[in-house]
């Protein structure tokens, strides 16, 4: 790969000093104090309707400014998902509108039915306790398959059968016939091949970011201003406008630094209610801060899913046919809806593909009375990967094949084209999966460990496992990918960069600065970035999700940088009409065609501001649209110790080796991978939002009861890379942010299988489940 000037450097993140010293400002830091506070009354039933609310006593609590119930708010449904919007109403791409600010129809336990505004949070709590609610209660349905059988009262009137969506992509009859089959099932059950099947389950994982969801709203001039801890300020603007029924231009959203999001903040949970409450009290500033407990049950976690997977495979290790049937439990509201499970079944299919022989990916998304679900890091892909890799692990184990060799025989590789997915064609322009796997295999000492642990006996055993992953960068070609960036040349020759894309802890600001510097021809330290978004002045971008920012928003940065560079050179030509040949910008200086320095960039910048004859504040503002995709791939190798009587798995060593295209900033990518690996260890072994299926109530909405890995549970995390130069990404990059959360869980599962021979299908593999599994198999 060509060496670049700024891209590829492990520069220190631009927000490091502020965040380490504590001077970085988050929403609550910025909120003027004292301010009014708002709190929400949540339903204590899981299904039914609010018949009446008596708030008279609550209104008498000292300090209470107002109590607002589901009978006071506008009866306007709106969508909450952080998805692009669509101009064309016929596209069918607009998100479902099934939320209201407050709703008398209770669909889930903890639904929002009233709100209090008071002078402090104590007064809020006292008032909440005094609100009397009369319900009509109906039975709760939590299982999606049960829900599809019909409920007396549909969860949402728009879906009488509770079915949000059902899709099924099947190999065409022509392709089936070409291989001698009439159906996928026939291919799966072809007696010439070995047939495998499994039923799998994945739980609702919670994002558990440090900063909860918090916003504050006030009115200013002709606008409602909402300062929010969000990943998607421009979408928050739209949704507030939609929910309140006001022009979107009358809403201004500001996003300061945020303490993590991982997808929670890709939904617009409470900002519209906060904004509406503000309008009810004359525009006074009111803050709505979600508690840690509410975060678990009143915002959205990873959709729980079940999978039935099947495959047939030949003695040559080649997969012949594959099928996946998924049920996704969206809870009482759609939020991100069917897109999540589509990501699961697509990534299942892409990783090991038999599309042209026999493939079926079928998915249901179902309304139930379960808790909210929505986006979480990797957005359905870890679940699909769990399904794909459990099955591959089983096959390798049962056939006595080497798991690495078997996987690599069937895995996605460079040049892969998938025309199978409705909505667009996917291509792997680059794919260093073989190199990644080889690197990981060597690092972990695959063959040695396999041999060493093969004959272990006794209650404590060791194993080694592998899992591959595939992740399609961003949402194109299935959905709109657009981004805008703006750059201005300062008087001192530095530039100011403005992005609608958001820094949410992942390091986006730093890589944007590097890419801008690269495009212009200056040092990264000469790029200042405006980290806070303010929809009034920030270029449009849909925000942080789908590992889209470096790829999509980075394309906007690159184009904008190139435009600014061109404008600088044009202005240099005005200043130096006699300079020889084509001008260039090299090392902060304008040089002529033979490389002689014409002037320094700071000199030019001063002229651009203050030249008495012709000046121009040099500025570039570019919108781009991305129609391509890029496929990031990689693998995890894990070595574990399994204490069967204790039901305890210790991850001793673990490595992710990834092809994320060109690494814009290797240090930041490594940090991303560390975080994702830890979160995947949580996904595989610990994390599960437990729901009482009878009431729909979340049983463990606290950090005491919701178990996530701490530093004590996570070994040293090894991250290595094989760089490729993807032709579609700006400076060759592909997705990074979500990729490391995909494969570790399945690799641990594979290592447990290796250690014990026991197949686990339900994630997380908690001590209870492990213990039961080992007992069932007679190992303890």
Binding site for a second copy (CB under 8 A): 14-15, 17-18, 21, 23, 25, 29-30, 32-33, 84-88, 91, 218-223, 238, 241, 247-250, 282-283, 480, 482, 484, 486, 490-496, 498, 525-526, 528-531, 534, 536-540, 603, 606-607, 609-612, 614-617, 619, 621, 623, 625
CA 514 – CA 511 distance, rounded (Å): 5
Which tokens is 619 given? 């500025």
**CB burial readout 746-763, b (16+ within 10 A) else e:** bbbbbbbbbbbebbbbbb
Q: CB of 563: closest distance to a second copy in angstroms?
A: 12
Query: In the complex with a second copy, which residue's Cβ is closer, 635 or 668?
Result: 668
Which tokens is 654 given? 């673990």
208 backbone φψ class: left, alpha, beta (φ>0; ψ -120 to 50): left
Q: CB of 590: closest distance to a second copy in angstroms?
A: 15
Q: Which helix (H) or strand (E) holds 637?
A: strand 631-643
Give me Rg for the CA atoms of the chain: 27
Which tokens is 727 given? 């032709």
CA dihedral 18, 21, 25, 26 (to 10 degrees): 110
Query: In the complex with a second copy, which residue's Cβ is closer, 355 or 494?
Result: 494
Under 8 Å CB-to-CB from 331, ≥6 apart: which residues? 107, 108, 300, 367, 368, 369, 370, 371, 372, 373
Q: CB of 730: closest distance to a second copy in angstroms?
A: 18
Residue whose C-alpha is closest to residue 114's, from 135, 83, 138, 143: 135
Under 8 Å CB-to-CB from 451, ≥6 apart: which residues? none
Query: In the complex with a second copy, which residue's Cβ is closer, 492 or 777?
Result: 492
Exposed / middle / buried, residue 704 (Cβ in 10 Å: 0-12, 13-18, 19+): exposed
Q: Which helix (H) or strand (E) holds 623?
A: strand 619-625
Query: In the complex with a second copy, which residue's Cβ is closer, 85 or 401?
Result: 85
Q: CB of 489: closest distance to a second copy in angstroms?
A: 9
In eight-state DSSP terms, residue 733 is: B
Q: CB of 280: closest distance to a second copy in angstroms?
A: 15
Q: CB of 560: closest distance to a second copy in angstroms?
A: 11
Q: CB of 524: closest distance to a second copy in angstroms?
A: 11
Q: CB of 428: closest distance to a second copy in angstroms?
A: 23
Question: Taking the alpha carbons of 159, 161, 167, 172 in that order, is the dihedral positive or negative?
Answer: negative
Query: In the complex with a second copy, which residue's Cβ is closer, 17 or 705?
Result: 17
Q: CB of 32: closest distance to a second copy in angstroms?
A: 8
- Angle among Cα 100, 231, 284 to the nearest 5 degrees reads 60
Question: Taking the alpha carbons of 555, 558, 559, 560 in that order, is the dihedral positive or negative?
Answer: positive
Q: CB of 573: closest distance to a second copy in angstroms?
A: 16
Helix-, strand-, coil-residue percentages of the chain, each rounded to 5: 30, 25, 40
Query: In the complex with a second copy, which residue's Cβ is closer, 50 or 608?
Result: 608
Query: In the complex with a second copy, which residue's Cβ is closer, 105 or 559?
Result: 559
Query: In the complex with a second copy, which residue's Cβ is closer, 125 or 603?
Result: 603
Query: In the complex with a second copy, which residue's Cβ is closer, 167 or 623?
Result: 623
Query: In the complex with a second copy, which residue's Cβ is closer, 283 or 767?
Result: 283
């Amino acid at each position: 790969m060509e060496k670049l000037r700024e891209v590829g450097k492990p520069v220190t993140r631009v927000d490091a000093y502020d965040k380490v010293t504590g001077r970085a400002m988050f929403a609550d830091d910025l909120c003027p104090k004292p301010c009014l506070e708002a709190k929400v009354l949540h339903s204590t039933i899981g299904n039914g309707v609010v018949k009446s609310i008596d708030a008279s006593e609550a209104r008498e609590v000292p300090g209470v400014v107002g109590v607002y119930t589901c009978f006071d708010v506008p009866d306007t449904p709106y969508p909450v998902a952080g998805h692009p919007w669509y101009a064309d109403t016929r596209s069918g791409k607009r998100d479902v509108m099934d939320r209201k600010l407050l709703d008398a129809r209770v669909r889930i336990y903890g639904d929002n039915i009233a709100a209090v505004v008071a002078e402090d949070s104590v007064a809020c709590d006292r008032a909440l306790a005094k609100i009397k609610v009369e319900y009509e209660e109906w039975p709760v349905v939590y299982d999606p398959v049960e829900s599809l059988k019909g409920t007396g009262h549909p969860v949402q009137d728009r879906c009488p059968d509770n079915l949000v969506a059902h899709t099924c992509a099947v190999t065409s009859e022509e392709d089936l016939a070409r291989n001698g089959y009439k159906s996928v099932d026939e291919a799966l059950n072809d007696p010439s091949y070995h047939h495998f099947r499994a039923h799998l389950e994945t739980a609702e994982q919670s994002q558990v970011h440090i900063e909860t969801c918090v916003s504050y709203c006030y009115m200013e001039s002709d606008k409602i201003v909402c300062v929010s801890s969000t990943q998607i300020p421009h979408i928050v603007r739209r949704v507030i406008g939609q929910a309140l029924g006001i022009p979107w231009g009358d809403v201004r959203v500001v996003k300061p630094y945020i303490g993590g999001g991982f997808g929670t903040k890709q939904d617009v949970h409470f900002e519209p209610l906060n904004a509406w409450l503000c309008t009810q009290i004359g525009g006074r500033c009111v803050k709505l801060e979600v508690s840690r407990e509410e975060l678990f049950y009143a915002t959205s976690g990873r959709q729980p899913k079940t999978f039935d997977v099947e495959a047939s495979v030949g003695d040559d290790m080649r997969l012949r046919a594959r099928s996946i049937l998924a049920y996704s439990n969206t809870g009482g509201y759609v939020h991100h809806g069917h897109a999540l499970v589509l990501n699961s079944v697509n990534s299942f299919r892409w990783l090991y593909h038999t599309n042209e022989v026999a493939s079926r990916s079928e998915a249901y998304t179902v309304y139930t009375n379960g808790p909210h679900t929505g986006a979480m890091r990797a957005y359905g892909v870890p679940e699909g990967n769990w399904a794909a890799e459990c099955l591959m692990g089983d096959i390798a184990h049962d056939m006595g094949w080497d798991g690495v060799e078997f996987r690599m025989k069937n895995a996605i590789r460079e040049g892969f084209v998938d025309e199978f997915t409705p909505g667009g064609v996917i291509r792997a322009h680059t794919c260093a999966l073989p190199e990644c796997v080889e690197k990981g295999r060597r690092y972990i000492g695959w063959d040695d460990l396999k041999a060493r642990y093969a004959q272990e006996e006794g209650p404590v055993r060791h194993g080694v496992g592998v899992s591959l992953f595939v992740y399609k960068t961003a949402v194109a070609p299935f959905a709109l990918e657009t981004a805008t960036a703006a750059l201005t040349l300062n008087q001192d020759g530095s530039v100011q960069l403005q992005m609608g894309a958001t820094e949410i802890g992942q390091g986006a600001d730093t890589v944007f600065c590097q890419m801008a510097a690269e495009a212009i021809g200056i040092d990264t330290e000469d790029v200042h970035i405006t980290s806070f978004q303010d929809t009034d002045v920030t270029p449009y971008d849909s925000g942080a999700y789908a590992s889209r920012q470096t790829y999509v928003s980075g394309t906007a940065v690159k184009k904008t940088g190139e435009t600014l560079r061109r404008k600088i050179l044009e202005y240099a030509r005005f200043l130096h009409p006699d300079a020889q040949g084509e001008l260039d910008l090299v090392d902060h200086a304008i040089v002529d065609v033979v490389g002689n320095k014409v002037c320094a960039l700071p000199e030019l910048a001063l002229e651009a501001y203050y030249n008495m004859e012709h000046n121009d504040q040099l500025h570039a503002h570019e919108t781009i649209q991305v129609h391509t995709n890029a496929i990031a791939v990689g693998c995890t190798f894990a070595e574990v110790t399994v204490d069967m009587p204790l039901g305890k798995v210790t991850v001793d060593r673990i490595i992710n080796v990834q092809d994320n295209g060109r690494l814009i900033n290797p240090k930041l990518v490594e940090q991303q991978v560390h975080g994702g690996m830890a979160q995947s260890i949580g996904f595989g072994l610990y994390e599960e939002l437990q729901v009482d299926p009878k009431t729909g109530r979340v049983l463990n909405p606290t950090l005491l009861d919701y178990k996530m890995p701490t530093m004590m549970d996570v070994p040293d995390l090894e991250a290595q890379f094989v760089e490729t130069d993807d032709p579609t990404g700006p400076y060759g990059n592909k997705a990074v942010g979500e990729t490391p959360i995909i494969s570790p869980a399945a690799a641990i599962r594979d290592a447990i299988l290796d250690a014990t021979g026991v197949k686990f299908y339900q994630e997380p593999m908690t001590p209870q489940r492990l213990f039961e599994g080992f007992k069932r198999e007679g190992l303890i």
